[in-house]
Amino acid sequence: MTSLRNQTVVILGGTSGLGFAIALATLQSHASHIIVAASTSAHVSRIVDRLISTAKDHHLSGAVQGRTVEFTNEEQINHFFAEIGDVDHVIIADNETFKPPPVQVSASTRVFGGGRNSLNSNGSGSHEYWGFGLVARQARIKTGGSICLTAGKNSALEGLTRGLAVDLAPVVRVNTIVPGSVLTDVWDGITPDLRDQLLTRSAEGVLLERLGTPEELAEAYLFAMKCGFLNGEIIHVNGGQKLA
């Protein structure tokens, strides 16, 4: 069975339930080094402490490291990837983390200005996906490694995913996970009565008649990292929500 043994995985954003589940799943797949980065130091510290504690309890040997990075700051992103060096996989676990800065992106910031598909030659689309493109440009990913994006249900990331896959092939693979409704700790902030109503209503729109778990979603990210023949794909993990 394919594992992540001796590999370094970077997880950007998503310091809540899904991000933790992805990080833990990579450790359970024998990754040697996990780097979790987010824009809030308290969130980073919390998830790193939790991962280290869980890894110790389950005798997992991978190292866990946290970094605080403001992902709307180009200089910080550049410094982050220059400092951590070569990695095997980069996961963007939360696309909201990468909202572009409130200024027009200059030509120097475009990822592949003359690239084939990821951006138009005139730069159209570069501002909307500024953060994703900058990560793709700055991350030093080893041959055979991957980038895995996370998209909302109505996201227009399909074109970017396939464009980046073409531009970075054959060295790096690019895929996107589209989660359905997932039972994360975000639901904990809702009053019990309202929470039950919303959960019931959400489950009615899913063929499996329930919400997914972060652990189930994490399996999709593992697949995207481990399957060396998967590239340019959009993977929907929603319990049959599109068919209900």
Q: Which one, of 66, 3, 1, 2, lies nearest residue 35 by Cα?
A: 66
Q: Which one, of 152, 192, 150, 195, lies nearest residue 174 by Cα?
A: 150
Q: How far apart are CA 208 and CA 71, in angstroms?
A: 36
Check residue 96 and give its pLDDT. 64
Say if residues 71 and 131 touch (Cβ distance below 8 Å). yes
pLDDT (tens, 9 = 90+) of the chain, 244 residues, equals 688 999 999 999 877 789 999 999 999 999 999 999 999 999 999 999 999 999 999 999 999 999 999 887 889 999 999 999 999 999 999 866 666 555 444 433 344 444 444 544 333 344 556 778 889 999 999 999 999 999 876 667 888 899 999 999 999 999 999 998 887 777 777 888 887 888 788 888 899 999 999 999 999 999 999 999 999 999 999 999 877 6
Q: Give this prediction's pTM.
A: 0.86
CATH number of 8-184+213-237: 3.40.50.720
Check residue 241 and give its pLDDT. 83
Task: Give residue for tokens 């200089």.
Answer: 75
Say if residues 202 and 241 touch (Cβ distance below 8 Å). no
Say if residues 175 and 232 touch (Cβ distance below 8 Å). yes
**Residues 13, 170, 134, 163: is their CA dihedral positive or negative?**
negative
Q: Is 38 helix (H, G, I), strand (E, B) or coil?
A: strand
Which residues, in sequence order, are CB contacts of 41 under 8 Å at separation 6+? 68
